[in-house]
Amino acid sequence: MSYTSKLFPEEPAAPSVVTESIPGPKGQEAIKTLGDVFDNRCTYFVADYEKSTGNYIIDVDGNVLLDAYCQVASIALGYNNPNLIKAARSDKMIRAIVDRPALGNFPGADFETLQKDLLKHAPKGQTHVWNGLSGADANELAFKAVFFNYQSKKRGFSKNFSAEEEETCMLNQAPGNPEIAILSFKKAFHGRLFASGSVTRSKPVHKMDMPSFEWPTAEFPAYKYPLEANAEANKQEDARCLAIVEDRLQNWKCPIAGVIVEPVQSEGGDNHASAVFFQGLRDLTLKYGAKLIIDEVQAGCGGTGIMWDHERYNITPPPDLVTFSKKMQSAGYWFHDPEFIPNMPYRQFNTWCGDPKGIIMAAAICDEIKDNNLLEPLRETGLYFYNQLEALQTKYPQFITNLRGKGKACFLAFDMPSGEKRAEFLGKMRLAGINVGGCAEVGVRLRPGLIFENKHVDIFIAAMEKVLPTL
Amino acid sequence: MSYTSKLFPEEPAAPSVVTESIPGPKGQEAIKTLGDVFDNRCTYFVADYEKSTGNYIIDVDGNVLLDAYCQVASIALGYNNPNLIKAARSDKMIRAIVDRPALGNFPGADFETLQKDLLKHAPKGQTHVWNGLSGADANELAFKAVFFNYQSKKRGFSKNFSAEEEETCMLNQAPGNPEIAILSFKKAFHGRLFASGSVTRSKPVHKMDMPSFEWPTAEFPAYKYPLEANAEANKQEDARCLAIVEDRLQNWKCPIAGVIVEPVQSEGGDNHASAVFFQGLRDLTLKYGAKLIIDEVQAGCGGTGIMWDHERYNITPPPDLVTFSKKMQSAGYWFHDPEFIPNMPYRQFNTWCGDPKGIIMAAAICDEIKDNNLLEPLRETGLYFYNQLEALQTKYPQFITNLRGKGKACFLAFDMPSGEKRAEFLGKMRLAGINVGGCAEVGVRLRPGLIFENKHVDIFIAAMEKVLPTL
């Protein structure tokens, strides 16, 4: 019996849509009244999480939807997973809620165990972790680590700052606050605060009107699909993009201390890159003294069929920092070089220094994945899913192009002919019982949980077969 | 029977220090092994949260300390508060942990109620809330709201951006990413990310080596104490500081869209200001078209004997945004002007849009404060505490000066003659059974929970009587 069947015996056999629109009357009313106390213009529907189970999200109208979006790739193991409920009801969780510690100043006796439970699941080559609260927070904490390291190295890891540095940093001026940059890629998404927003390059609405750091961008490979038929062109694309990175590292107006990259650009359109590109990037960062940060916020924690997507590229040496959040229900960055521990205390620091609640859940989720060997069947389901979608791409080439993500489990995407058609498709899929999301201008991204099975693929594909001819 | 006696019948009658140093042997060993998996150079001791209760924090050596620091002002209602444990064990909490929603896209059916439960406790004049994850996050979200509002107003709240704005913002350049500022005060502390770090002005170690926005500072009043004896000089200090603010608003090199200020500068030394200063600030922001953000992260949620410290100044009209975190176990900003809801969706947005776990706890904590009328006895305890400290100040003028915070419950502070003496005092107080913290260079800040009573004051004062003569 599969993990899903065992843990979710009451999972519905199929979606069920009982209202003419989603949201239906109850959902519309709920959205209207919620609007009085929350800016809910982005709300698709109001969910009934009490009733939702496994791969199915149920809304307040009683519509039962197969969820291939999972809270923007954040629910790993299904709704109301009984094993996670156990972790949530544990005494250590209750204590983490009621007596939330300032982990830097007054860590609890169980914190060492929590950290070790988390570190068991670190990417290969990473031995340390620093804890944060969200993907944006994790990335900005990683930037701090990179900047501290870069400047400390310049002053020979001295424990003293110069008087000029101390004075100028209080005025937000160099040399205390140096002009120094993180390089990111066009179409990248790394969060929406001010430094994370500065490296995010997805859409104007994510960036408009925010003061930002004028940091450099390079280009992420834009491959031709299918990959097998376009190997030579894609190889040239890698070389073109790496040359741009090298140009920036050589010629940008200020030092580039770090490079941040997603293993798959998700919000920006599910853009993949090759092992050659990632190793090239690693080599360039080493050549020019920049640190390599891999943002595994969306792809990490099993989403692509392995725990950390970048591991498939065998990047050597491993990336300097790897950030995580979303499915982990926690956030932070992994690292291995002890030089990322700042040269004096209270530099990488804040009141909470992370959240034990999140760490408990992250470890519980990762243990569950490992103990139940969930990624092996997920990879098989992904291949099955890919093949079904490929058949649909052949049948409906006017609607489906650039199918991508092969071999990355269910972390799949394809393009539609226009933003309008994509919106129509997503809306009709929802009415056909499938919750699925978009990315970039015309992409559809599949982000089911790690417990998605062939039977769910069949339901998804049947809905597409129903919807596509009506576009 | 008092709330504290009722809820914590097993609270120790007095501190008990059983090891020669704190940390003792077990604590030292715990710190050593924790150091393998966490940068714990800031750790004072390792706590046993299972055993801690009410006002007492207990460490792994069995030392029982009266806690007047409370996780940097973050534990409002005592350790292992049974009523909060109930909230933590509730089904809605367990669901919030296991099925954490993307609140913007897929809010749960209970989210409207959660928001309303939270909004019941908003500062006077504030009607809306936007949720975040930490104090730094709350402040940066508030900055985004202010910047969006400022630029939207410039374009007449049009729903369109210009082509030039869309192009330039993707390059992190004006006009899409304008040069536009938040003004903050010297010695302010508002967080340690990049925009919050830019307005933080507490210590070089909080800011060094981070790229920052070159935003303006003004001066926060530095009063002479006791206030009664220095009324005229302090009035002039208000005028001097307000003149600097006006100069910045008039003459800074770029537009100042907002001013952020703490009701009490806490990390920066427990610096207080008058109603005249705060109203003057409000008037200046109105005169020059800047928004006023009050950072209630440390003072808010009852710490000063009223729910929101700035309310005592009757600032008219109320501040535009008020940020919160810490004791709320949640974070975000309150506001009342619907113009702070951005002119289009997906601008103030991220995957999680807050955390229902935190909202549940925030509402539970605030309900508990209100339903049990905890702030009235706290204010009395604060006066009692102040009077005792004033007597000590008279007795030991060589050690205690600038006693401040009268009338703000137990949110009290005083200065010691030097950083060295302060460190000696804090260490000896811990060995005398009291956990208490510092602020700025020579300050000692008292941050007990809201359940501190006269009997705890007596214990605190007795420890001081014991320690001071040994300095």
In this structure, the answer to whether residues A101 and A240 fall within a common structural domain is: yes
Q: Return the pLDDT at A159.
A: 84
Domain for residue B84, yes or no? no
> What is the number of other CB atoms lying within 10 angstroms of the CB of residue A3?
22
DSSP A470: G
| Residue A444 lies in domain | 3-77+374-470
Last residue of a domain, one of A371, A386, A421: A371
Of B133, B248, B250, B132, the residue nearest B199 (C-alpha): B248
Q: What integer is the mean pLDDT of A448-463?
A: 98
Q: Return the pLDDT at B338.
A: 95
> Residue A283 and residue B172: Cα distance in Å, rounded?
27
In this structure, the answer to whether residues B318 and B456 fall within a common structural domain is: no
Q: What integer is the mean pLDDT of A81-94?
A: 98
Contact with chain B for residue A253, Cβ under 8 A: no
> Residue A98 and residue A108: Cα distance in Å, rounded?
13
DSSP A132: E
**The two structure tokens encoding residue B328:** 């709320």
In this structure, the answer to whether residues B353 and B381 fall within a common structural domain is: no
Q: What is the 3-state secondary structure (H, E, C) of chain B?
A: CCHHHHHCCCCCCCCECCCCCCCCHHHHHHHHHHCCCCCCCCCCCCECCCCCEECEEEECCCCEEEECCHHHHCCCCCECCHHHHHHHHCHHHHHHHHCCCCCCCCCECCHHHHHHHHHCCCCCCCCEEEEECCHHHHHHHHHHHHHHHHHHHHCCCCCCCCHHHHHHHCCCCCCCCCCCEEEEECCCCCCCCHHHHHHCCCCHHHCCCCCCCCCCEECCCCCCCCHHHHHHHHHHHHHHHHHHHHHHHHHCCCCEEEEEECCEECCCCCEECCHHHHHHHHHHHHHHCCEEEEECCCCCCCCCCCCCHHHHHCCCCCCCEEEECHHHCCEEEEECCHHHCCCCCCCCCCCCCCCHHHHHHHHHHHHHHHHCCCHHHHHHHHHHHHHHHHHHHHHCCCCCEEEECCCCCCCCEEECCCHHHHHHHHHHHHHCCEECEEECCCEEECCCCCCCCHHHHHHHHHHHHHHHHHC
CA A232 to chain B, closest CA, distance in angstroms equals 30
Residue with tokens 């002919």: A417
Of B158, B191, B340, B148, the residue nearest A211 (C-alpha): B148
In this structure, the answer to whether residues B179 and B299 fall within a common structural domain is: yes
B351 is catalytic: yes
In this structure, the answer to whether residues A30 and A147 fall within a common structural domain is: no
Position B319, amino acid: P
- For the packed helices A356-371 and A82-89, what is the interaxial angle rounded to 10 degrees? 150
In this structure, the answer to whether residues B315 and B461 fall within a common structural domain is: no
> What is the number of other CB atoms lying within 10 angstroms of the CB of residue A450?
27
Contact B194 A214 (CB under 8 A): no
Give the one of B105, B144, B210 whose C-beta lies nearest to A72's C-beta.
Answer: B105
**The two structure tokens encoding residue A107:** 């860590």
Closest residue of chain B to A29, computed from CA coordinates: B109
- Please, what's the largest Cα pairwise distance for chain A? 71
CA B99 from centre of chain: 29
Contacts of B45 in chain A (CB under 8 A): 106
Give the one of A169, A179, A350 whose C-beta lies nearest to B136's C-beta.
Answer: A350
Catalytic annotation, pick one of A326, A327, A357, A408:
A326
CA A326 to chain B, closest CA, distance in angstroms equals 8
Are A269 and A439 in contact by the 8 Å Cβ rule? The answer is: yes
N-term to C-term CA, chain B: 38
Give the one of A48, A115, A140 whose C-beta lies nearest to B194's C-beta.
Answer: A140
**The two structure tokens encoding residue A429:** 């899929």
Q: What integer is the mean pLDDT of A237-254?
A: 98
Task: Provide the chain A residues 39-68 that lie in CB contact (below 8 A) with chain B.
Answer: 39-50, 52, 57, 60
- Please, what's the largest Cα pairwise distance for chain B? 71
CATH at B395 = 3.90.1150.10
Domain for residue A154, yes or no? yes
DSSP A54: B
User: What 3-state DSSP class applies to A414?
Assistant: strand
CATH at B101 = 3.40.640.10
Contact A191 B350 (CB under 8 A): yes
Domain for residue B85, yes or no? no
> Residue A364 and residue A121: Cα distance in Å, rounded?
11
In this structure, the answer to whether residues A65 and A141 fall within a common structural domain is: no
* Strand order across the B331-335 sheet: B128-132, B331-335, B321-324, B291-295, B256-261, B181-185, B217-218
**The two structure tokens encoding residue B391:** 């007597």
| pLDDT tens profile A386-440 | 999 999 999 999 999 999 999 999 999 999 999 999 999 999 999 999 999 999 9
> Residue A109 and residue A96: Cα distance in Å, rounded?
12
Domain for residue B83, yes or no? no
| pLDDT tens profile B349-395 | 999 999 999 999 999 999 999 999 999 999 999 999 999 999 999 99
**The two structure tokens encoding residue B245:** 């603010």
B295 is catalytic: yes
In this structure, the answer to whether residues B379 and B364 fall within a common structural domain is: no
Domain for residue A192, yes or no? yes
Q: Return the pLDDT at A315.
A: 98
Q: What is the average pLDDT score of chain A?
A: 97
Of A407, A450, A121, A413, the residue nearest A265 (C-alpha): A413
For every residue of A307-368, DSSP letters joined together read SSGGGGGT-SSPPSEEEE-GGGSSEEEEE--GGGS-SSTTSS--SSSS-HHHHHHHHHHHHH
Phi, psi of A182 (to 5 degrees): -110, 130
CA A395 to chain B, closest CA, distance in angstroms equals 32
Contact with chain A for residue B95, Cβ under 8 A: yes
| pLDDT tens profile A184-202 | 999 999 999 999 999 999 9
CA A335 from centre of chain: 18
In this structure, the answer to whether residues B355 and B433 fall within a common structural domain is: no
**The two structure tokens encoding residue A440:** 């970039």
Domain for residue B457, yes or no? yes
- DSSP β-bridge partners for residue A439: A443
In this structure, the answer to whether residues A380 and A233 fall within a common structural domain is: no
Domain for residue A51, yes or no? yes
Q: Return the pLDDT at B159.
A: 84
Of B243, B124, B112, B217, the residue nearest A46 (C-alpha): B112
Last residue of a domain, one of A317, A349, A371: A371
Q: How many domains does chain B have?
A: 2
In this structure, the answer to whether residues A396 and A461 fall within a common structural domain is: yes
In this structure, the answer to whether residues B427 and B351 fall within a common structural domain is: no
Give the whole-number percent of chain B exceeding pLDDT 70. 100
Residue A295: pLDDT band (50, 70, 90) is very high
Q: Return the pLDDT at B155.
A: 93
Position B260, amino acid: I
Q: Is A407 exposed, middle or buried (0-12, 13-18, 19+ CB in 10 A)?
A: middle
Strand B56-58, strand B434-435: pairing: unpaired
> What is the number of other CB atoms lying within 10 angstroms of the CB of residue B234?
21
Q: Return the pLDDT at A257.
A: 98
Respond yes or no on whether the N-terminal peptide bond of residue B318 is cis (omega within 30° of 0).
no
> Residue B14 and residue A378: Cα distance in Å, rounded?
57
Contact A209 B352 (CB under 8 A): no
| pLDDT tens profile A106-136 | 999 999 999 999 999 999 999 999 999 999 9
> Residue A11 and residue A58: Cα distance in Å, rounded?
11
Residue B408: pLDDT band (50, 70, 90) is very high
Q: What is the average pLDDT score of chain B?
A: 97
Closest residue of chain B to A127, computed from CA coordinates: B37
Closest residue of chain B to A188, computed from CA coordinates: B170
Q: What integer is the mean pLDDT of A241-246?
A: 98
Q: Return the pLDDT at B5.
A: 97
Whole-Å CA distances, B242 to A123, B143, B257, B270, B312: 53, 22, 17, 19, 19
CA B139 to chain A, closest CA, distance in angstroms equals 10
Q: What's the complex ipTM?
A: 0.98
Domain for residue B82, yes or no? no
Residue B236 scores a pLDDT above 90: yes
Q: What integer is the mean pLDDT of A233-247?
A: 98
Last residue of a domain, one of B371, B387, B410: B371
Task: Please enumerate in sequence order all residues whose Cβ is within 8 A of that of B206, keeping only pairs 6 or more positions apart, or say none.
Answer: A346, B189, B192, B197, B200
Contact B133 A133 (CB under 8 A): yes
Give the whole-number percent of chain B exceeding pLDDT 90. 99
